[in-house]
């Protein structure tokens, strides 16, 4: 017993001496402080990475959609892309109004920002309205592609400017009506003053009929459009497979003319026939792997962006006992918003005609910039002959693209008949 007491006294004295000289501190205190510093550092790094990708997606959506809109406006032969133009307008509005508010609402760097009741309602309204308008426009583009490829002659007759305007008006009416439901069912009781920006989202909406609204919103803006898109692109793939199987020997001048359009559908550039083979190949027998891969990418991108978003809100609305993890809501929300930055590439810049017109406008702009620079430096009225040829070729290319931009001319250049097309 005495030996035990001596050992305890020695340990106590040693601890006191160490604390006096400051050589070390109790292990539990050091551990908690270190863990706190590490967790705070990891959280700050995660927040920096998150806000970086948020801002990056917003900038890409802003620039890409603006580029497609400018190209379609500047090129009269591209003004037939009504739905692509409308999709870019919707995504551009999302990049200007919705995504900056979402950055403030979801980023921890703005955790102290307060939204007024009106600001919170406007954010939820824009969230529902622009998401619905974007998805419905993608659905309209898929239906337009279906009729253009499967029934090209009927498309020429039925697809008019009036029909396109009617579809656009219908999309906006449906989107505005759906977005108004959370506002009309907003309760008059409870907190009516400013609220934290992080609590201003579709999930935290205090609507009495939130579960009914989320179910209606998911069915009308996701599940029905997904079914339509899947059926439409399956039908397009069948047409591509039949066209590949029916494709026979083509004249030699088709392969030698590399400057001509090589797309079945110059408006959508889904099914391409570059370097047409002289005989059936394995790709033709199995239905065109390139067309199948393109269709899988389009449908897969749509599901990847929107399926987690609607599944998350639908699950939490039906199961009210489950609480929302903040990070999961942020991830699925910005995964959905990434569609605003991807759409101009999938439906705009990957289109051969839009890409060619964009390069032509870029060449014209660079040529004019060079001319202005030379004229300011030399101060001469005479024009460089090389610049004159470049500008003339730019004008000739634009005029020729206008002449050859009709679906009939493009179909004639492909060298084979689409099933359902009436031979002329």
Per-residue pLDDT of the chain (424 residues; tens, 9 = 90+): 454 455 445 555 544 444 444 444 443 444 444 444 556 777 788 889 999 999 999 999 999 999 999 999 988 888 889 999 999 999 999 999 999 999 998 888 887 888 888 888 899 999 999 999 999 999 999 999 999 988 889 998 888 999 999 999 999 999 999 999 888 877 655 556 787 777 787 766 666 678 888 999 999 999 999 999 999 999 988 887 887 777 654 444 334 444 433 433 334 444 433 443 443 344 443 445 677 788 889 899 999 999 999 999 888 888 866 665 668 889 999 999 999 999 999 998 888 888 888 888 888 878 776 656 555 455 443 444 444 444 544 544 444 554 454 444 444 444 434 343 333 3
What pLDDT score was predicted for residue 207? Answer: 62
Task: Give the whole-angstrom CA distance, residue 160 versus residue 139.
Answer: 18
Q: Are 89 and 368 in contact (CB under 8 A)?
A: no
Task: Give the whole-angstrom CA distance, residue 109 versus residue 354.
Answer: 39
C-alpha distances out from residue 33 to 24, 30, 42, 88, 200, Å:
14, 5, 14, 50, 33
Q: Give residues with Cβ within 8 angstroms of 108, minimum separation 6.
A: 43, 47
Q: Which two three-digit tokens encode residue 173? A: 């009416």
- The widest CA-to-CA distance across the chain, in whole angstroms, is 115
Task: Give the whole-angstrom CA distance, residue 98 versus residue 380.
Answer: 50
Which of 204, 189, 188, 50 lies closest to 120 in space, CA to CA?
204
Task: Give the whole-angstrom CA distance, residue 211 versus residue 158.
Answer: 40
Q: Are 271 and 288 in contact (CB under 8 A)?
A: yes
The H-or-E segment that residue 196 falls in is strand 195-196
- Helix, strand and coil content of the chain, in percent to the nearest 5, comes to 75, 0, 25
Which of 329, 331, 326, 335 lies closest to 303 in space, CA to CA?
335
Residues linked to residue 263 through DSSP beta bridges, in sequence order: 272
- Within 10 angstroms of residue 18's Cβ, the number of other Cβ atoms is 13
The H-or-E segment that residue 114 falls in is strand 114-115
Residues linked to residue 301 through DSSP beta bridges, in sequence order: none
CB neighbour class for 13 (10 Å; exposed up to 12, middle 13-18, buried from 19) = exposed
Task: Give the whole-angstrom CA distance, residue 29 versus residue 34.
Answer: 9
What pLDDT score was predicted for residue 325? Answer: 65
Task: Give the whole-angstrom CA distance, residue 333 versus residue 327.
Answer: 10
What pLDDT score was predicted for residue 192? Answer: 65
Taking phi over 0 as left and psi of -120 to 50 as alpha, with beta for the rest, 382 belongs to: beta
């Amino acid at each position: 017993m005495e030996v035990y007491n001596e050992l305890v006294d020695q340990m106590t004295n040693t601890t006191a001496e160490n604390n006096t000289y400051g050589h070390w501190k109790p292990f539990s205190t050091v551990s908690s402080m270190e863990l706190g510093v590490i967790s705070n550092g990891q959280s700050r790094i995660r927040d920096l990475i998150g806000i970086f990708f948020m801002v990056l997606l917003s900038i890409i959506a802003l620039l890409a959609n603006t580029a497609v809109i400018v190209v379609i406006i500047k090129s009269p032969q591209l003004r037939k892309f009504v739905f692509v133009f409308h999709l870019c307008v919707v995504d551009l509005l999302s990049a200007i109004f919705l995504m900056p508010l979402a950055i403030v609402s979801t980023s921890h760097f703005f955790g102290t920002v307060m939204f007024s009741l009106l600001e919170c309602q406007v954010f939820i309204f824009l969230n529902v309205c622009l998401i619905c308008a974007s998805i419905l426009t993608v659905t309209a583009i898929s239906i337009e592609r279906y009729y253009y490829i499967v029934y090209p002659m009927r498309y020429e007759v039925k697809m008019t400017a009036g029909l396109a305007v009617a579809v656009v008006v219908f999309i906006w009416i449906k989107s505005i009506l759906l977005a108004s439901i959370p506002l009309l069912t907003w309760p008059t009781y409870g907190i009516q003053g400013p609220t934290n920006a992080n609590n201003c989202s579709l999930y935290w909406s205090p609507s009495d009929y939130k579960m009914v609204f989320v179910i209606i919103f998911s069915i009308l803006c996701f599940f029905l459009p997904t079914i339509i898109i899947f059926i439409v692109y399956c039908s397009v793939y069948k047409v591509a497979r039949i066209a590949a199987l029916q494709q026979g020997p083509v004249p030699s001048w088709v392969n030698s003319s590399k400057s001509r359009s090589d797309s079945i559908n110059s408006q959508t550039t889904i099914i391409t026939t570059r370097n047409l083979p002289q005989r059936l190949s394995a790709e033709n027998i199995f239905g065109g792997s390139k067309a199948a891969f393109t269709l899988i990418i389009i449908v897969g991108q749509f599901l990847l962006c929107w399926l987690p978003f609607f599944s998350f809100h639908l699950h939490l609305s039906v199961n009210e006992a489950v609480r929302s993890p903040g990070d999961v809501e942020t991830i699925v929300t910005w995964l959905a918003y990434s569609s605003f930055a991807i759409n101009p590439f999938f439906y705009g810049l990957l289109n051969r005609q839009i890409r060619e017109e964009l390069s032509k406008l870029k060449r014209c702009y660079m040529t004019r910039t060079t001319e202005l620079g030379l004229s300011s430096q030399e101060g001469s009225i005479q024009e460089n002959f090389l610049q004159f040829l470049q500008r003339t070729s730019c004008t000739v290319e634009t005029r020729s693209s206008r002449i050859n931009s009709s679906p009939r001319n493009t179909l004639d250049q492909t060298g084979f008949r689409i099933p359902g097309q009436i031979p002329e």
